[in-house]
Amino acid sequence: MKKIFKLFISAIIVTFSLFSFVSHAQTEFIPDNFIYLSDGNDGFCVFDKENNSLLKIDKNGTKKYAEIDDTKSYSKIFAHNGEIYLLSEFKNNSIITTVTSKNTYCITFSNVLMKDNCFLAESTDRFYVTDRRYPDTLLLCDSDGIQLSKIKLDNKILSLFYCDNLQSVVAETEKGFYIVTKNKNIACPVPYGKFTYYNNTFCDEKNNVYSFDENTGTEKLYTLPYEHSVLTQDGIYCSDNTTVYLLDFSGKESKYFNAETKVYSLLSGKNSVAFITDNGLQILDKKQLLPVSRPVPQVSENSEKHSKSVKNNESSLPTPKPQTVKNNENSSIKTESTSEKIPDYTVFSNTLRIAGNYIFLDKPLTVAQLKKSFDYNDNTVSVINHNGKETTSGKVGTSWQIIFTGNTTITYNICLMGDVTGEGNINSNDVKMLTDYLFEKIELNNAELYAADVDEDSVISLKDLYSIFKNI
């Protein structure tokens, strides 16, 4: 019987490995010596400067664009509405090479030396450009590069973008904005450097967020405390070290994703977000965003989810250091009545973590060791086992509780990672119990779900089963 059980677990492990391989094979990362940008829709492109080649990356994978002329030296790359434009120069002429998945074609703008960030394709036959020799002049050209009109502004043009709300090309200048369709200048502070724009809101390189009104201009709302930020229709995506956050438009965190490696930049499409790491460009799977407050883990719905590797943000499961927790507004300990005094205590153990009303143990502790992890001052403390009885000895397991009693009472539920049964150690009973859960034979309570979620990705999967099996 034992051999049959081991063969069954081995089969599950092999299946899990195959799913992991397939998932990895579908994600093709790109080396670092590339230029990354959004294609203006929901895809992203990568330009190889050395080999003059373009790759398109979207949710369906990676593919090459049409071959481009490798004899030209391309100085800039632009994108709008899914079209890619490469800039090269010959004498006093700017040449834009438009690249699609099937072909390429060139437009020569005679006697125009294009300024950085000052090219915008309003349509396939209308292009707005600025000559860097005449930085205060906006040119409108046709599909042959012939100038149709020019508009001289009062200030130097910094960039061009299309505003969906205004249904107009907008020129950012040193002193404000110029709305082309309304022939209207707006004098106001402008965002710093490159920025993203959505629904009358700007976010610039310094993570400043501005509101925008066509009559009054910009108004700074707040500065985000992150390294990188981009605006999308979902809200504001920000990154800080290895974590990508989704904020609402008021700047409040709602969800996050742990990239597990340093995030160097964020890119936004119309309804997609990508981030750049040492591994290259990766499109964010929004299904992998986790609530900032850690959710109860859920069973994976199908085998495709078994290869998920989304880690829980360390900030949502902090490792306590010796500190006295007192009754103040910043305390993470909550009681039903905020007017009650919270008992003071000190955590002395680095083997446990506190999140909300749960204590997570990374290795087994006895009742005595658990109690010694806290200096609970004048309060009394009791430990309740998973059968609801107070106990003073033995190993602490999942679904046990530790209760502090002073002027009020605080109860913590205990989760020993991998200990699904609550026996205080990890053994074959945990493997069997989790297997029964995965095959929907039994239900687990919240503490048991947390304990079963060994990789802390908020999804109960074969990966967790394998991790528990390895530790027997």
Secondary structure of the chain in HEC code, one letter for each residue: CHHHHHHHHHHHHHHHHHHHHHHHHCCCCCCCCCEEEECCCCCEEEEECCCCEEEEEECCEEEECCCCCCCCCCCEEEEECCEEEEEEEECCEEEEEEECCCCEEEEEECCCCEEEEEEEEEECCEEEEEECCCCCEEEEECCCCCEEEEEECCCCEEEEEEECCCCEEEEEECCEEEECCCCEEEECCCCCCCEEEECCEEEECCCEEEEEECCCEEEEEEECCCCEEEEECCEEEEEECCEEEEECCCCCEEEEEECCCCCCEEEECCCCEEEEECCEEEECCHHHCEECCCCCCEECCCHHHHHCCCECCHHHCCCCCCEEECCCCCCCCCCCCCCCCCCCEEECCCCEEEECCEEEECCCCEHHHHHHCEECCCCEEEEECCCCCECCCCECCCCCEEEEECCCEEEEEEEECCCCCCCCCCCHHHHHHHHHHHCCCCCCCHHHHHHHCCCCCCEECHHHHHHHHHCC
Residue 84 sits in the same domain as residue 58? yes
Q: Closest Cα partner for 98 from 144, 139, 138, 62? A: 144
Residue 459 sits in the same domain as residue 330? yes
Instruction: Indicate left, alpha or beta for 434 from its phi (over 0: left) and psi (-120 to 50: alpha).
Output: alpha
Q: How confident is the model at residue 7 (pLDDT cuts 50, 70, 90)?
A: low
Q: How confident is the model at residue 297 (pLDDT cuts 50, 70, 90)?
A: low
Q: Give the pLDDT of residue 298.
A: 58
Q: Closest Cα partner for 317 from 351, 360, 346? A: 360
Residue 12 sits in the same domain as residue 93? no
Q: How many CA atoms lie within 13 A of 450 on its CB side?
A: 26
Q: How confident is the model at residue 347 (pLDDT cuts 50, 70, 90)?
A: low
Q: Give the pLDDT mean for 184-189.
A: 94
Residue 13 sits in the same domain as residue 105? no
Question: Mean pLDDT score of the chain, rounded to an integer?
Answer: 79
Q: Among 33-37, 374-378, 418-422, which is the least confidently predicted range?
A: 374-378
Highest mean pLDDT among 61-65, 72-76, 129-133 belongs to: 129-133
Tokens 């709300």 sit at which residue? 165
Q: How confident is the model at residue 331 (pLDDT cuts 50, 70, 90)?
A: very low
Residue 193 sits in the same domain as residue 111? yes
For 395, list phi and psi in degrees, rounded to 5.
-85, 140
Residue 373 sits in the same domain as residue 405? yes
Q: Give the pLDDT of residue 335.
A: 28
- Give the domain CATH number at 80: 2.130.10.10
Residue 248 sits in the same domain as residue 340? no
Q: Give the pLDDT of residue 336.
A: 30
**The total number of structural domains that make up the chain:** 2
Residue 67 sits in the same domain as residue 137? yes
Q: Give the pLDDT mean for 392-420.
A: 89
Q: Closest Cα partner for 313 from 246, 382, 253, 259? A: 259
The residue from 262, 290, 318 where one domain ends is: 290
Q: Give the pLDDT mean for 185-205.
A: 92
Residue 250 sits in the same domain as residue 342? no
Query: Can you read off the two tokens belonging to residue 58?
Result: 């979207």
For residue 299, count other CB atoms closer than 10 A to its CB. 16
Query: Can you read off the two tokens belonging to residue 425?
Result: 């150690």
Residue 271 sits in the same domain as residue 390? no
Residue 335 sits in the same domain as residue 275? no
Q: How confident is the model at residue 339 (pLDDT cuts 50, 70, 90)?
A: very low
Q: Give the pLDDT mean for 314-339.
A: 30
The residue from 248, 269, 290 where one domain ends is: 290
Residue 427 sits in the same domain as residue 393? yes
Cα(246)–Cα(209) distance, integer angstroms: 15
Structural contact between residues 45 and 83, judged by C-beta atoms closer than 8 angstroms: no
The residue from 272, 290, 308 where one domain ends is: 290
Q: Give the pLDDT of residue 316.
A: 31
Q: Among 201-205, 308-312, 453-457, which is the least confidently predicted range?
A: 308-312
Q: Give the pLDDT of residue 240.
A: 85
**Mind listing the pLDDT tens digit for each residue in 18-55?**
333 333 323 333 444 678 888 878 788 888 877 778 88
Domain that holds residue 126: 31-290
Q: Vertex 445, ends 453 and 6: CA angle to 5°?
A: 50
Q: How confident is the model at residue 9 (pLDDT cuts 50, 70, 90)?
A: low
Q: Give the pLDDT of residue 299.
A: 57
Structural contact between residues 352 and 362, judged by C-beta atoms closer than 8 angstroms: yes
Q: Give the pLDDT of residue 142.
A: 94
